[in-house]
Structure formats: structure tokens, C-alpha cells
């Protein structure tokens, strides 16, 4: 029940906010922060209590929901979802603090943020496909409203695009879910949408597996977003308010990669192996394309948005390496991207608040007027590039190590993405922070205030913590990754040529011996 | 041709809902003479009548029960449909009270007409004989022709009524022709006998049969407003008074679907090759044209009309499934649809004022922050119509889709799913206006407590069916 409590606590907060008077803004903000902070602190308890020696689901709770269809309310958490869960509560808190200055309808804004949090947390704990789908779709609405109401000038276009893109993908997933439901019912006689049961018992022929894989793949690839399904992302990111972008990059995109871990790989291991090259190549294209497009952006936020396409390409590549290094790297990079890109969006938001522009050309020499800001930006930018000692390095290194074991060429191509990342980030940093302080509007910009520091500093601490001592993080998903790898191990699906060859050899040996014996007897 | 036998026994308990409701309907007509100017008493009596009808529907213990020489049946399907009809009629009476006051509709026969229409709907859902189906359809249609034009001095209302009448009469012709051909092919109008004859292979003439089936599809196509027979729907929906529009979009349509289902899935499943492809094509076209039509609308009533055309497409899938899963999903969908449509129309009525019904979607600008509860309710109804969890529309669609997939209609479901994605576009358009545009002009909310009550009921129904659908599912699929 603890998981359920943690998941719905923000929603309760949203309902409480609805009854607060609209005028009392500080009370509204304090209540929102209170609920988010409570949720975050309590979710840390999950991490402490988590047993990382097993891949089994923990904190499980299951009760019948729509019993006529075999749908249950089944929740639980394992190494793959634990950190994502905690990161969601964490980033929700950070984003709510970062939204302190929202002017328009602050109460409704906070309500949307908290409701969004419940939707996202629900996605990570659902162990029933129906339940998963409900949460998956549910979080669309608050995000749509956040972009559409509090976003930039083209917000309505961006919000609708975001919604329709995701809806198209996830509706096909719905068809696949129903199909799987009947497949399992046919094979085992049990009508259920329980994810663990289905993962265990689904035994579809390869061609069916492929269709199902594609349906799920579309839903998740749009969310990730993989090239070429990424076009909604820059629009959504650029138009979303700062906190919306943080949540989008930090959590929503992770729901896509999480989907691959939870659905595609364990349920369709054979199809996953078949699609491996295809997805790996898409991921590599994403890495290089995202980086190259970032290189030419004039708008800071767009630059960070496209860099997400590149970074998420790494995560996808790591997942589809199907080995320990790759998958661990992918899971860690999931978290890293949430932290680094979340921080980048926060920082971009800060200067946008001051100057109401994000054009790189408008800035220059900011390091002189905003030294604290420049230092924070520097650290976050370097972490995004993947400098050793910081979080990004560990993740990318593991991923590249993993992919190298499969295909050296892919690893080499992916590595070029790291180099491009250094180019666009450092070049951007140089244009914004250094050079001459020319624009008079920038002469008297205030440096970061205390509230802004509160949002950034925890992220910076995490950047160094993961960079220097990633063990506590890696440990949590170790058992789960090991288990998953045995499922998708290509050896399970390889035609057993070698063994038959052996058998033939043995037979021949036996025949020879037999012949010898017979000959001996004759003599 | 078999001789027509005199009815041996008439099971009055089985007929109870029809009898009770007819008595009440006549009672309301008589009461109108004494009611004076205020017609609220009539509405109240009608509601009591509907309540009694719903209760009496559960009176029959041994299901299924047949009556009138097997031309009338009480089974769980008809009982569930009676439930849907009484709920939709009750809700439409409730949203009418305030509307009629505001718009100056003083016709006492208004409520009686709704009750008579409901009687026709019950007959439609309970008949296992083609003649009975025809009677039901005619009772329903005649009441609707009058109701659509009840605002006598409003030119749009007149147009709606006339258009509906002319096209409806046309459709009736097709239906009757189809039934006659069916009779010619089999020598009986009883659905159970038709099914048995087809199964035994003793149909007189295959071509007559097929022609009959096609004409029946056309006739019902008109009645439920499926493409390409949907042309009347947007105009009639727009012109009719809003409560009548909501009523038309739900009750009579559900009744037509009930008969549709009985004829095709229960009487003609063995000639499904004759109608399956036809329905497939019609369903696909209905979904696409309904949705694409809705995208272009700027008038909320027309938008809802086109969206209801697209919903007909989804419901047709349930008919094609032909088994108990199909009927159960049809029942669930219609009930969910009832709440969503009445909720949405309740809001449309609340936002209208005399002479200016505020029907342009633009008029909804800024509602989200001026009247958060109204806007939130409207958002719930629209998202539910689009099929988003955790609302009723999602579970209803899930039900129909799973019924279809269990029968192997995977491509059809994929088409339906893509249509759902299209439909999000125009449902969201209304949400965009409510939350993301600045208000134009002031909102004058003329909400009576009764209309607000209807909206509240609809919200609760939409959430209940979306979050805890279990009891209704087990009622629909015993």
C-alpha cells in the first residue's frame, strides 16, 4: 500500500489545492511544495528499504479491479523502476520550486503539476497492462494543459502535436495489449492482464511477436523520442514553461525507455533480437542527427531539446546492446539525462526569466555579471558532455563498452556523438558566457537568487555523486538487469547448429569405435 | 405461408415496462389539461413513470421470456436496454425543464412525447419479429419528428423537423421493403424462425434474402445515421432543441442499435457473408467521415453531431462481433455514451441563454478559469468521448475493441484506433478554447439546479463506468 500512497499523494495534494482560495498565492505554493516534498522524502524510504539482491518485485500490492476481465490493480517496483520512481518525486519537487514565479493561475498550475506527478509515478509502478495504459494516457492530459496554458507563443500547436503524437502511438499499443490478452487466454486459459503472468506465459510465434513488438515500439519510440519519431519534442520543449520542460526531459521521455525494459524485451525477446540492428541503427542516427542539429540552433532551449534526441539515442543503444554494460549504462544514463538536462532547462529558464529571450546571439559575457550562474552552468554543461568525474561519463562509457562488444563500428559511430556534444555545448557556452559583454541589456542582470540555488544545487550534488561514486545507483538495478539479460540472451534463439554438429561428430566417433571393435572380433 | 395463430397467452409481467410507461404517458397527456401554465408537474410525473418502468423491467424472473407468439422477448439484453432508455429519457426530461422555461416551450405534450418515444424504444429492443420492429421504429420516429420541431416559431427547428421527417420516411420505406423481401425469402417475419430456416438451408430464394439484408442495412443505416446515410444528422441535431438533440443522439439510436443487433447478430448470423463486408465498409467510412467532418465544425452542436456519427462507426463493430461479447460491449458502450452525451449537452444548455444558445465553440473561450467546475466537467465528457482513461469512454472502447479482436478483426480495430486519435484533435479543440484562449465577452450562466444535477450525474456516471466498471460489465455480460 505504501507505493499506492506515494503515487496518489500528489493527486490528493491537487484536490486539496482546488479548495484553497485562489487569491492566497503563498499558501497555494506552500501547500504544493509541502505535498511534493513529503512525497519525495517518503519515496527515499523506498530506496532504503529496497532489497537489491533480487530481481523480484518489491512492495507489491495486488487487488482485483475489473474482475470480469481479469484486470487487477497490481503495483510493485524493481531495480529498473525504483530510481525512476524516486527521480520523479525528486524532479516534481524541484519543478514546483522552480515555478515559484508563475504569474497566471498559479493554483491551477500547481494542480496540474501534482496530477502529472501521480500519472508518471503510476506508470512506473503498474504491473498490470490495463493499469499501465490508464496511467500512461492519464499523464498526457496535465502535460497537455501545462504546455497549452502556460507555454510560449506557439503553445497550442505544440500541445496538440504532443498529445496527438503520443496518442497515436499509445492507441496502437492498446490494440497490442488486447491481442496479447487473448493470446495468453488461448494458451493458458487464464484471462488476465497481469504483466508478470503474461511475461512469464506469453509464448507467441515469431511473426506475431514482431507485430506486437512494433506496436509497443511505436508507442515507446515516440515517447523516447527516437529518430524519426522525434519531431514533436522540440516544439513541446520550446513552448513548455521551464518546469514543464524539466519534467518532459527528466521523466516523460524516460517512460519510453522504461517501456522497452518492462514490455518489449521481456515479453518479445525473440523479436527484440530480430529488431536489434534496426533499432541500433536508428539510435545511432538519432545520436548523430540530434547532435548535428543542436550544433546549428540559435535558441538555447531548442539546443537542449535536440541534445535530448542525441542523449536518448545513447540510452536506446545501451538497452539494445543486451549485455550487462549496455543495459546498466542505459539505466544510469536515464537518470543522468534527467538530472543534467533537467538542470540545463532550469538554467535556461533562469535567463529567460531575466531577459525574455533565449536567442544565443542576445547574450555574451554573462560570466562577468552572473558568476554563480556561470559556474553552475559550466558544471551542468560539462556533465552533459560526459566529462570524467561527472555522471554523464559513467553512463556513456558503459553504453559504449556494451555496444562495442556487439559491433565495433556502431560503437565508433556512437562515440562521434560524444565529440559533437562537446562541440555544441562548449560552443554555446562560449557564446553565452564568455566573449565581450556587449549587449547593454545584459549589463545589470542579477545573479542567481537563493530559490534558484535551491533548485540547482541538489542536481549538481547528484552530478558529482553519480560521477564519482555510482555504486549505490548501479547496485539497485544490478539484479534486475542480470535477470533481464538471461531473458533476451540471443543464445536462447539461435538455431542449435553447433550442438547438432557436435552430435554428428559424436555419432561418427561411435561408429568408428564400433567398426574397430567389429574388425577386432573378426581378426 | 403459415397460418397466423391467435395468441395463446399474454405474459403481462413480461410486458410490464411497456404497460406501465404507456399508462403514464397517457396520464401525462390527460394531466396536461389540468396542469395550467407550469409544466413542472408533468415532468415530475414522467420521471416517476420512468422510474416505475425501470423497476418493473426487473420483475421478470425467468429469462428469457417470450410473449405474443415469440414476437416479444424479455432477456438480459432488453432489460439492460430498458435501463439505458429510462436513464436517457429521465436525463433528457431533467435537462428540458429549465430549457423549456427559458426558451418558452410551453407544450405539455413534450413530456408525453418523450414517454411515448420511450415505449417505442422498449418495443424495438424487445421485439423478435420484424413487424414488431417496424412498429417500434415508427412509434419512435413519429415522436421524434414532432419533438425536433417543437420550437414552432424557430425556423431552424422547423427545418430540422421537416428534414428529419422526409428522410426518416424514406428510410422507413427501405426498412419495410427489406422486411418484405425477407418475408418473401423465408415465409415468416419471426427472427428466431428466420434464423432456424437459414440454418436448415430451407430459404426460398437466396437473392431475395440478400436483397432484403441490404435494404435492412440501408434502413437501419438511416436510423442510426451511419455513412453514407448520415447527411440529415448534423442539420437535424443543430436545429432541434438541445435537450431533444441529446435525447435523439442517445435513446432512439440505442434502440435502433438494439434492433439492428437482434436482426443481424441473432437472426442472420448464418448469412453473415451477405452483410459483414457491407457493415465493415460502412463502419470504416462512418468513422472516417464522422471524424473528419467534426474537425471542421465551429458549432458545438454540429461538432457533437459529427462526433456521434463517428461513434456509430465504433458501435457497428460491436454488431459485427455477433456473439455475447458483442452484445455486452454494445450495451456498455450505449450506457457510457448516455452519460457522456447528456453531460456535454447539459453544459451546452447551461452556457446558452434565451435567443442566443452560445453554440459557437469560440464562445467557450476562457471558461476554464471563469467557471472551473463547468469546464472541468466538459473536459471530462470530451476526453471520455475521445476514449481517454480513466473515463467511461475508454472502458467502452476497450470493450468493443477486445470483442472485435477476439473475433479476429484486428485491422478494423487498428482503423478504429487511428480514428480515436483523429477524434482527439477536435475534442481537444474545445478544451483549447476553454483553457488556452482569452475570454470573449462575459459568461452569463443560466444554470438551474436541475440542469447542474444532470451534469453532476453525468460526471459521476462517466467516472464510475471508467474506474469501477465491474458491476455494469457483469450486468451486461451475465
- pLDDT tens per residue across span A393-429: 888 999 999 998 888 889 999 998 888 988 999 998 8
pLDDT band at A519 (very low <50, low <70, confident <90, very high): low
First-to-last alpha carbon distance for chain A, in angstroms, is: 82
Whole-angstrom distance, CA of residue A323 vs CA of residue A484: 9
The string of pLDDT tens digits covering residues A310-349 is 999 999 999 998 888 899 999 999 999 999 999 999 999 9
Q: Does A167 touch chain B (CB under 8 A)?
A: yes
pLDDT digits 0-9 by tens, A425-459: 999 888 888 888 888 887 888 888 888 888 899 99
Q: Give A58's strand partners.
A: A77
On the question of pLDDT at A518 being above 70, the answer is no
Contact B420 A167 (CB under 8 A): yes
Cell numbers at residue A153, please? Answer: 507563443
C-alpha cell at A186: 488461448
Nearest Cα residue in chain B from A164: B421
pLDDT at A227 over 90: no
Interchain pair B436, A148: CB under 8 A: yes
Grid coordinates given for B451: 440542469
Interface of B with A (CB under 8 A): 368-369, 372, 383, 388-390, 394-395, 398, 401-402, 405-406, 410, 413-414, 417-418, 420-421, 424-425, 428, 432, 435-436, 469-470, 473-474, 477
**Could you tell me the pLDDT band of residue A101, with boundaries at 50, 70 and 90?**
confident
ipTM: 0.90
Contact A167 B474 (CB under 8 A): no
Distance CA B379, CA B430 (A): 8
CB contact under 8 A, B421 and A171: yes
Write out the H or E segment, with its range, that includes residue A87.
helix A79-98
If we measure between CA atoms, which residue out of A492, A482, A490, A393 comes closest to residue A80? A482
The C-alpha of B344 sits at a distance from chain A's nearest C-alpha, in angstroms, of 18
Check B402 against A137: CB less than 8 A apart.
no
A149·B436 Cβ contact <8 A: yes
Residue pairs between chains A and B whose CB atoms are closer than 8 Å? 83
Residue B417 has pLDDT above 50, yes or no: yes
Entry pTM: 0.91
Provide the grid cell at A228.
524519426
For the ranges A285-294, B97-106, B120-129, the lowest mean pLDDT is seen at B97-106
Judge: B398–A178 Cβ closer than 8 Å, yes or no: yes
The verdict on A164 touching B (C-beta cutoff 8 Å) is yes
Chain centroid to CA B467 = 23
Q: Which of A69, A163, A182 minimises the CB distance to B405? A: A182
Please name every residue paired with A118 in a beta bridge, in sequence order, or none if there are none.
none
Cβ of residue A138 closer than 8 Å to a chain B Cβ: yes
The pLDDT, as a whole number, for residue B215 is 92
pLDDT at residue B399 greater than cutoff 60: yes
List the beta strands (DSSP E) in A283-412.
none
Q: Which residues of A touch B435 (CB under 8 A)?
A: 145, 148-149
Cα–Cα distance list, A353 to A152, A348, A367, A439, B300 (Å): 12, 9, 17, 17, 38
Q: CB–CB of A137 and B389 under 8 A?
A: yes
Question: Who contacts A66 (Cβ-Cβ below 8 Å, separation ≥6)?
Answer: A130, B395, B469, B470, B473
Average pLDDT over every residue of B26-36: 86
Average pLDDT (B154-173) is 88
- In eight-state DSSP terms, residue A359 is B
A168–B418 C-beta distance less than 8 A: yes
Q: What is the pLDDT of residue A188?
A: 87
Contact: A178, B432; criterion CB under 8 Å = no
Provide the total of helices (H) and of strands (E) in chain A, helices listed first: 23, 2
Which residue in B has a C-alpha nearest to residue A182's C-alpha?
Answer: B406
What is the C-alpha to C-alpha distance for residues B359 and B348, in angstroms, rounded to an integer? Answer: 7
Q: How many Å lie between the alpha carbon of A22 and the closest alpha carbon of chain B?
A: 11
Instruction: Please name which of B315, B396, B399 lies closest in space to residue A69, comparing C-alpha atoms.
Output: B399
Strands A58-66 and B72-74: unpaired
Residue A287 and residue A414 in contact, taking contact as beta carbons nearer than 8 Å:
yes
CB-based contact B112:B28 (threshold 8 Å): yes
Per-residue pLDDT, A505: 55
Q: How far is A176 from chain B (nearest CA, A)?
A: 9
Q: Given this model, what pLDDT does residue B5 score?
A: 59
Read off the pLDDT of each residue in B302-329 and give the average, rounded to a whole number. 90
Residue of B nearest to A166 (CA): B421
- Is residue B81 within 8 A of residue B338, CB to CB? The reply is no
Q: What is the pLDDT of residue B133?
A: 92
- pLDDT for position B238: 87
Residue A520, pLDDT above cutoff 70: no
Question: Mean of the per-residue pLDDT values for chain A?
Answer: 87
Considering only alpha carbons, which residue of chain B is nearest residue A153?
Answer: B436
Contact residues, chain B, for A19 at CB < 8 Å: none
**Cell output for B460:** 459521476
CB of A167 within 8 A of CB of B424? Answer: yes
Per mean pLDDT, which of A54-63, A95-104, A474-483, B111-120 is the most reliable? B111-120
**Residues 169-198 of chain A whose Cβ lies under 8 A from any Cβ of chain B:** 171-172, 174-175, 178-179, 181-182
B270-310 pLDDT per residue, tens: 887 878 888 999 999 999 999 999 999 888 888 999 999 99
The pLDDT tens digits for A488-513 are 877 776 554 445 555 555 556 666 66
Nearest CA of chain B to the CA of A18: how many Å? Answer: 10
Query: Smallest Cβ distance to B420: which of A66, A144, A171?
Result: A171
φ and ψ at A361, to 5 degrees?
A: -65, -20
- To the nearest 10 degrees (0 to 180), the angle between helices B300-321 and B410-436 is 160
pLDDT given for residue A498 in this prediction: 47
Average pLDDT of chain B?
A: 87
Mutate to test the interface with B, among A20, A21, A68 (most CBs of B within 10 A): A68
Q: Give the pLDDT score at A8.
A: 92
pLDDT at residue A268 tops 60? yes
Cα separation of B324 and B64, whole Å? 14
- Are A160 and B398 in contact (CB < 8 Å)? no
Is the per-residue pLDDT at B87 higher than 90? yes
Q: How far is CA A465 from CA A418, A422, A462, in A?
A: 21, 22, 5
The nearest CA of chain A is from the CA of B398 a distance in Å of 8
Residue among B361, B405, B429 with most chain A CBs within 10 A, to mutate: B405
Residue pLDDT, tens place only, A165-223: 888 888 889 999 999 999 998 888 888 889 989 888 888 888 888 999 999 999 999 99
Contact at CB, B473 and A68, closer than 8 angstroms: yes
**DSSP code for A299:** B
| Average confidence (pLDDT) over B147-165 | 87
Q: Is A154 on the interface with B (CB under 8 A)?
A: no
Instruction: Choose among B414, B435, B470: nearest Cβ to A175.
Output: B414
Q: C-alpha A303: how far from its chain's center?
A: 19
Taking only the tens place, the pLDDT of each residue in B228-240 is 888 888 889 888 8
Contact predicate B275/B140, CB 8 Å: no
The residue with greater pLDDT, B139 or A523, is: B139
Alpha-carbon distance A26 to nearest alpha carbon in chain B (angstroms): 19
- Position B39 scores a pLDDT of 77
Amino acid at each position: 500500500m505504501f507505493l499506492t500512497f506515494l503515487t496518489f499523494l500528489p493527486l490528493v495534494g491537487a484536490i486539496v489545492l482546488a479548495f484553497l482560495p485562489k487569491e492566497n498565492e503563498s499558501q497555494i505554493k506552500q501547500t504544493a511544495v509541502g505535498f511534493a516534498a513529503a512525497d519525495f522524502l517518503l519515496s527515499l524510504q523506498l530506496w532504503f528499504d529496497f532489497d537489491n539482491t533480487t530481481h523480484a518485485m518489491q512492495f507489491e500490492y495486488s487487488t482485483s479491479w475489473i474482475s470480469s476481465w481479469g484486470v487487477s490493480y497490481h503495483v510493485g517496483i524493481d531495480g529498473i523502476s525504483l530510481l525512476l520512481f524516486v527521480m520523479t518525486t525528486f524532479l516534481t519537487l524541484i519543478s514546483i520550486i522552480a515555478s515559484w514565479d508563475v504569474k497566471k493561475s498559479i493554483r491551477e498550475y500547481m494542480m496540474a503539476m501534482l496530477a502529472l506527478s501521480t500519472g508518471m509515478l503510476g506508470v512506473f509502478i503498474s504491473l498490470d497492462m490495463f493499469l499501465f495504459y490508464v496511467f500512461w494516457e492519464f499523464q498526457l492530459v496535465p502535460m497537455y494543459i501545462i504546455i497549452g496554458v502556460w507555454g510560449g507563443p506557439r503553445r497550442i500547436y505544440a500541445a496538440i502535436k504532443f498529445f496527438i503524437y503520443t496518442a497515436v502511438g499509445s492507441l496502437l499499443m492498446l490494440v497490442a495489449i488486447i491481442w496479447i490478452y487473448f493470446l495468453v487466454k488461448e494458451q493458458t486459459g487464464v484471462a488476465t492482464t497481469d504483466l508478470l503472468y503474461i511475461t512469464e506465459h506469453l509464448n507467441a510465434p515469431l511473426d506475431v511477436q514482431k507485430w506486437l513488438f512494433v506496436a509497443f515500439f511505436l508507442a515507446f519510440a515516440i515517447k523516447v523520442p527516437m529518430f524519426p519519431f522525434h519531431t514533436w519534442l522540440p516544439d513541446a520543449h520550446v513552448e513548455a514553461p521551464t518546469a514543464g520542460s524539466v519534467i518532459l526531459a527528466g521523466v516523460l521521455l524516460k517512460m519510453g525507455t522504461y517501456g522497452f525494459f518492462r514490455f518489449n524485451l521481456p515479453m518479445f525477446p525473440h523479436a527484440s533480437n530480430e529488431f536489434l540492428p534496426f533499432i541500433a541503427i536508428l539510435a545511432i542516427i538519432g545520436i548523430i542527427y540530434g547532435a548535428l542539429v543542436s550544433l546549428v540552433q540559435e535558441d538555447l532551449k531548442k539546443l537542449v531539446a535536440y541534445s535530448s534526441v542525441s542523449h536518448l539515442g545513447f540510452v536506446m543503444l545501451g538497452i539494445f546492446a543486451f549485455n550487462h554494460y549496455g543495459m546498466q549504462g542505459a539505466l544510469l544514463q536515464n537518470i543522468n539525462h534527467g538530472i543534467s538536462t533537467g538542470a540545463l532547462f532550469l538554467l535556461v529558464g533562469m535567463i529567460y526569466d531575466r531577459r525574455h529571450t533565449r536567442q544565443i546571439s542576445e547574450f555574451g559575457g554573462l560570466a562577468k555579471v552572473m558568476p554563480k550562474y556561470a559556474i553552475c552552468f559550466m558544471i551542468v554543461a560539462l556533465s552533459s558532455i560526459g566529462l570524467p568525474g561527472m555522471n554523464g561519463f559513467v553512463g556513456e562509457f558503459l553504453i559504449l563498452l556494451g555496444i562495442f562488444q556487439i559491433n565495433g563500428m556502431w560503437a565508433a559511430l556512437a562515440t562521434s556523438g560524444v565529440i559533437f556534444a562537446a562541440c555544441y555545448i562548449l560552443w554555446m557556452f562560449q557564446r553565452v558566457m564568455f566573449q565581450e559583454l556587449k549587449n547593454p541589456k545584459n549589463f545589470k542582470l542579477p545573479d542567481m537568487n537563493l530559490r534558484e540555488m535551491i533548485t540547482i544545487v541538489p542536481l549538481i550534488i547528484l552530478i558529482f555523486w553519480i560521477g564519482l561514486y555510482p555504486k549505490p545507483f548501479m547496485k539497485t538495478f544490478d539484479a534486475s538487469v542480470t535477470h533481464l539479460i538471461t531473458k533476451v540472451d540471443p543464445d536462447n534463439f539461435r538455431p542449435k547448429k553447433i550442438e547438432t554438429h557436435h552430435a554428428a561428430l559424436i555419432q561418427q566417433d561411435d561408429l568408428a569405435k564400433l567398426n574397430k571393435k567389429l574388425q577386432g572380433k573378426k581378426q | 405461408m403459415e397460418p397466423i395463430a391467435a395468441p395463446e397467452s399474454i405474459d403481462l409481467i413480461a410486458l410490464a415496462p411497456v404497460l406501465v410507461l404507456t399508462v403514464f404517458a397517457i396520464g401525462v397527456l390527460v394531466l396536461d389539461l389540468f396542469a395550467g401554465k407550469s409544466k413542472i408537474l408533468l415532468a415530475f410525473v414522467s420521471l416517476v413513470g420512468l422510474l416505475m418502468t425501470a423497476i418493473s423491467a426487473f420483475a421478470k424472473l425467468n429469462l428469457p421470456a417470450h410473449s405474443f407468439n415469440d414476437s416479444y422477448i424479455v432477456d438480459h439484453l432488453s432489460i439492460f436496454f430498458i435501463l439505458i432508455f429510462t436513464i436517457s429519457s429521465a436525463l433528457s426530461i431533467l435537462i428540458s425543464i429549465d430549457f423549456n422555461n427559458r426558451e418558452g416551450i410551453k407544450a405539455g405534450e413534450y413530456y408525453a412525447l418523450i414517454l411515448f418515444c420511450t415505449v417505442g424504444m422498449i418495443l424495438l429492443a424487445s421485439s423478435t419479429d420484424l413487424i414488431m420492429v417496424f412498429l417500434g421504429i415508427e412509434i419512435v420516429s413519429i415522436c421524434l419528428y414532432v419533438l425536433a420541431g417543437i420550437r414552432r416559431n424557430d425556423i431552424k427547428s422547423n427545418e430540422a423537423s421537416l428534414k428529419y421527417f422526409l428522410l426518416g420516411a424514406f428510410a422507413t420505406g427501405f426498412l419495410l421493403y427489406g422486411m418484405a423481401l425477407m418475408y418473401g425469402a423465408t415465409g415468416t417475419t419471426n427472427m428466431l424462425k428466420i434464423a432456424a430456416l437459414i440454418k436448415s438451408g430451407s430459404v426460398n430464394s437466396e437473392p431475395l434474402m440478400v436483397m432484403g439484408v441490404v435494404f435492412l442495412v440501408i434502413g437501419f443505416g438511416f436510423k442510426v445515421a451511419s455513412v453514407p446515410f448520415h447527411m440529415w444528422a448534423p442539420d437535424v441535431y443543430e436545429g432541434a432543441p438541445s435537450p431533444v438533440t441529446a435525447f435523439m443522439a442517445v435513446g432512439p439510436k440505442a434502440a435502433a442499435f438494439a434492433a439492428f443487433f437482434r436482426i443481424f447478430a441473432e437472426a442472420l448470423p448464418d448469412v453473415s457473408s451477405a452483410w459483414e463486408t457491407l457493415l465493415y465498409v460502412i463502419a470504416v467510412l462512418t468513422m472516417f467521415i464522422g471524424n473528419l467532418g467534426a474537425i471542421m465544425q465551429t458549432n458545438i452542436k454540429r461538432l457533437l453531431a459529427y462526433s456521434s456519427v463517428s461513434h456509430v462507426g465504433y458501435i457497428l463493430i460491436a454488431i459485427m462481433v455477433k456473439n455475447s461479447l458483442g452484445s455486452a460491449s454494445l450495451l456498455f458502450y450505449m450506457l457510457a455514451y448516455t452519460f457522456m452525451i447528456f453531460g456535454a449537452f447539459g453544459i451546452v444548455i447551461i452556457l446558452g441563454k434565451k435567443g442566443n444558445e452560445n453554440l459557437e465553440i469560440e464562445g467557450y473561450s476562457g471558461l476554464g478559469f471563469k467557471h472551473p467546475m463547468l469546464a472541468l466537467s466538459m473536459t471530462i465528457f470530451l476526453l471520455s468521448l475521445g476514449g481517454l482513461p480513466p473515463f467511461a469512454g475508454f472502458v467502452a472502447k476497450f470493450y468493443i475493441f477486445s470483442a472485435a479482436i477476439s473475433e479476429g478483426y484486428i485491422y478494423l480495430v487498428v482503423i478504429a484506433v487511428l480514428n480515436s486519435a483523429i477524434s482527439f484533435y477536435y475534442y481537444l479543440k474545445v478544451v483549447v478554447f476553454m483553457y488556452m484562449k482569452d475570454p470573449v465577452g462575459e459568461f452569463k450562466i443560466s444554470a438551474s439546479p436541475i440542469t447542474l444535477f444532470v451534469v453532476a450525474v453525468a460526471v459521476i456516471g462517466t467516472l464510475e463506468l471508467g474506474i469501477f466498471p465491474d458491476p455494469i460489465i457483469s450486468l451486461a455480460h451475465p
